[in-house]
């Protein structure tokens, strides 16, 4: 294939992957600012409405690593198209949902889309020329990071101008077009892992993830000392131990634990856990902070749309730094970028602890944290993809995304304890609850910086020219 034709094909493939992954990332956060509207429209309680978020979280945590592994075994394009069709169905059902129960089921179906992230990274590794892999992974990571920010920023204007159901109708149109283009233009990856899906491993992984994430997301309502929370956390520990035992004994494990124990993999995953705790908690609580009426002694009484606009600097910064990461990685290395990203997160949370009295201060902090998110997302993906065999790419990047989600659930739960643990007579949190929460997030991001410093230094042998026609394109070997 001529060089220009190959490059054009790669660009089209990347556009398909970026569109699908960006929509799924947006679906994660798009509904959060609109939950009060959904609660009112579907005549339900606040506690029931929050299951719209919880259902998606649990579903994505289960399907992301499992379908990443299925893609490694059965073919990444085939699995990618199946996932896109499933997301399309989930969005269609959500847009038409007549009740909160149907909407929650639709969100479970949408959660399958979390598998698009590892599948997309795997397709890039298999199909792109070595000189294109690093930049493409960084760019896709930037799109994924920015997608979550777009959801927060866009939700308010969409709901105000149209209706909350358009939060799903718009993805229906975009995903439908993406499916058609993917069928025609995304190539089927030639590399396949050997073996079969370990359904015992899949069942145990699903069980312990649900047992862990469910109490973390519901502890604020159930109570940290309640039998349900303590029982599920104990079950999570037991089921995780059973899963580790089953995976260690399996000839074809769902997640190869030997790969997970590699220094470059476990240190990156540890960083993902800690940084995810800070990142998702900021996304969850900063909009609420700026929406608090000034009569509470803090906050700006911002509307959903205004609070989204205050998050706009974060969105722009995370996209730009994610794209920039791919250009810097050949010169400074993914480890340095990951460390810098975590450090910027710690710095942003530290600033927020002391400076949050003016809207411009919130904007500056959001932009600073966005720089950190973009660098961290891109470099995590680079480190994982460059440290595992090609046939393990889907499962390994899926687990990294999952670990980041687990960290986010832990960070959000801990921050919620500090913010809502003591309320004013009006029912609003005290300012000290937020400042203590920001300080905790700064500590978590600082710990993530320390974990990033433990990542082994990697050197990548790079190919200077284009890959010869007819050869198998694979990423350069990591030494």
What is the model's pLDDT at position 448? 96
Give the contacts of 89 (CB within 8 A, at least 6 positions apart): 109
Give the contacts of 129 (CB within 8 A, at least 6 positions apart): 6, 10, 463, 466, 467, 473
* Mutual angle of helices 393-420 and 431-453, in 10-degree steps: 150
Give the contacts of 39 (CB within 8 A, at least 6 positions apart): 45, 46, 48, 49
End-to-end CA distance of the chain: 30
Task: Please enumerate, as own/partner, the contacts of 254-257 that have beta carbons within 8 Å and a separation of 24 or more.
Answer: 254/65, 254/66, 254/69, 254/197, 254/198, 254/201, 254/202, 254/205, 254/395, 255/65, 255/69, 255/201, 255/205, 255/395, 255/396, 255/399, 256/392, 256/395
Running DSSP on this structure, what letter comes out for residue 113?
A: G
What is the model's pLDDT at position 235? 96
Question: What does the alpha-carbon distance between residue 61 and residue 82 come to, in Å, rounded to a whole number?
Answer: 18
H helical segments located in 50-198: 51-74, 76-96, 100-110, 116-127, 130-161, 166-185
User: How long a stretch of residues is the chain?
Assistant: 479
Domains of the chain are 3-197+252-453 (1.20.1250.20), 198-251 (no CATH)
Question: What does the alpha-carbon distance between residue 191 and residue 469 come to, in Å, rounded to a whole number?
Answer: 18
CB 476 within 8 A of CB 404: no
Percent helix, strand, coil in the chain, to 5, is 80, 0, 20
Integer-rounded Cα radius of gyration of the chain: 21
Task: Please enumerate, as own/partner, the contacts of 333-337 that have beta carbons within 8 Å and a separation of 24 or more.
Answer: 333/457, 333/458, 333/459, 334/379, 334/382, 334/383, 334/386, 334/455, 334/458, 335/379, 335/383, 335/452, 335/455, 335/456, 335/457, 335/458, 337/375, 337/376, 337/378, 337/379, 337/382
Q: Sign (positive/negative) of CA torsion 291, 152, 435, 47? A: positive
**CA-wise closest residue to 317 among 94, 142, 465:** 142
What is the model's pLDDT at position 367? 94
What is the model's pLDDT at position 159? 86
> CB count, 10 Å around CB of 58?
23
Cα–chain center distance at 468: 36
Question: Hey, which residues does 460 pair with through a beta bridge?
Answer: 478
240: phi then psi, degrees, rounded to nearest 5: -65, -40
What is the model's pLDDT at position 461? 41
For residue 311, give the H/E element and its range.
Answer: none
Instruction: Find where tokens 């990142």 sit.
Output: 279
What is the model's pLDDT at position 438? 93
Instruction: Report CA dihedral (384, 390, 391, 396) to the nearest 10 degrees.
Output: 0
Tokens matching residue 204 = 């145990």
What is the model's pLDDT at position 465? 37
What is the model's pLDDT at position 464? 36
Three-state SS at 180: helix
Tokens matching residue 250 = 């399996």
Entry pTM: 0.81
**CA-wise closest residue to 151 among 4, 35, 231, 240:** 35
pLDDT tens, the chain, 479 aa long? 444 445 557 888 899 999 998 999 888 888 877 888 888 889 888 778 878 888 888 888 888 888 888 888 888 899 999 999 999 999 999 999 999 999 999 999 999 998 998 899 889 888 888 888 888 888 888 888 888 778 878 888 888 888 889 999 999 999 999 999 999 888 877 767 666 777 888 899 889 988 988 888 788 778 888 999 999 999 999 999 999 999 888 887 878 888 888 999 999 999 999 999 888 888 778 888 888 898 888 889 888 788 878 888 988 998 899 888 888 888 899 999 999 999 999 999 999 999 989 999 999 999 999 999 999 988 998 899 888 887 788 778 888 888 888 888 888 888 888 887 788 888 888 899 999 999 999 999 999 999 999 999 765 444 333 333 333 334 443 33
What is the model's pLDDT at position 149? 78
């Amino acid at each position: 294939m001529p060089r220009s034709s190959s490059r054009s094909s790669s660009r089209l493939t990347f556009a398909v992957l970026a569109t699908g992954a960006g929509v799924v990332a947006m679906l994660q956060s798009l509904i959060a600012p609109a939950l009060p509207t959904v609660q009112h429209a579907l005549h339900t309680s606040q506690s029931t409405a929050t299951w719209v978020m919880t259902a998606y979280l649990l579903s994505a945590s289960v399907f992301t690593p499992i379908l990443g592994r299925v893609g490694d075994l059965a073919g990444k394009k085939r699995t990618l198209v199946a996932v896109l069709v499933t997301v399309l169905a989930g969005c269609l059902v959500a847009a038409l949902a007549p009740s909160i129960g149907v909407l929650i089921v639709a969100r479970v179906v949408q959660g399958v889309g979390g598998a698009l992230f590892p599948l997309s990274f795997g397709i890039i590794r298999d199909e792109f020329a070595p000189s294109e892999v690093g930049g493409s992974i960084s760019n896709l990571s930037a799109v994924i990071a920015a997608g979550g920010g777009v959801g927060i920023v866009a939700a308010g204007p969409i709901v105000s101008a149209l209706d909350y159901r358009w939060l799903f109708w718009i993805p229906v149109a975009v995903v439908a077009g993406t499916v058609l283009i993917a069928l025609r233009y995304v190539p089927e990856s030639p590399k396949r892992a050997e073996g079969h899906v370990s359904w015992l491993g899949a069942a145990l992984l699903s069980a312990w993830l649900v047992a862990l994430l469910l109490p973390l997301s519901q502890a604020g309502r159930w109570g940290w000392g309640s039998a349900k929370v303590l029982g599920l956390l104990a079950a999570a520990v037991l089921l995780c131990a059973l899963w580790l035992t089953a995976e260690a004994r399996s000839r074809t494990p769902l997640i190869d634990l030997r790969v997970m124990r590699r220094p470059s993999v476990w240190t990156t995953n540890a960083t993902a856990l800690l940084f995810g705790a800070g990142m998702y908690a900021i996304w969850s609580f900063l909009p609420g902070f700026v929406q608090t009426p000034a009569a509470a002694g803090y906050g700006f009484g911002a509307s959903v749309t205004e609070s989204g606009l205050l998050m706009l600097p974060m969105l722009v910064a995370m996209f730009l730094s994610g794209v920039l990461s791919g250009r810097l990685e050949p010169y400074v290395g993914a480890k340095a970028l990951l460390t810098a990203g975590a450090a910027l997160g710690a710095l942003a949370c530290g600033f927020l602890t002391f400076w949050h009295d003016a809207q411009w201060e919130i904007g500056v902090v959001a932009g600073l944290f966005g720089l950190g998110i973009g660098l961290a997302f891109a470099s995590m993906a680079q480190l994982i993809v460059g440290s595992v065999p090609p046939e393990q790419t889907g499962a390994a990047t899926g687990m990294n995304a999952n670990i980041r989600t687990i960290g986010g659930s832990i960070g959000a739960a801990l921050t919620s304890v500090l913010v809502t643990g003591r309320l004013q007579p009006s029912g609003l949190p005290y300012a000290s609850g937020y400042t203590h929460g920001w300080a905790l997030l700064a500590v978590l991001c600082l710990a993530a910086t320390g974990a990033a410093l433990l990542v082994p230094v990697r050197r990548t042998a790079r190919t200077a020219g284009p890959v010869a026609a007819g050869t198998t394109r694979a990423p350069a070997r990591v030494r």
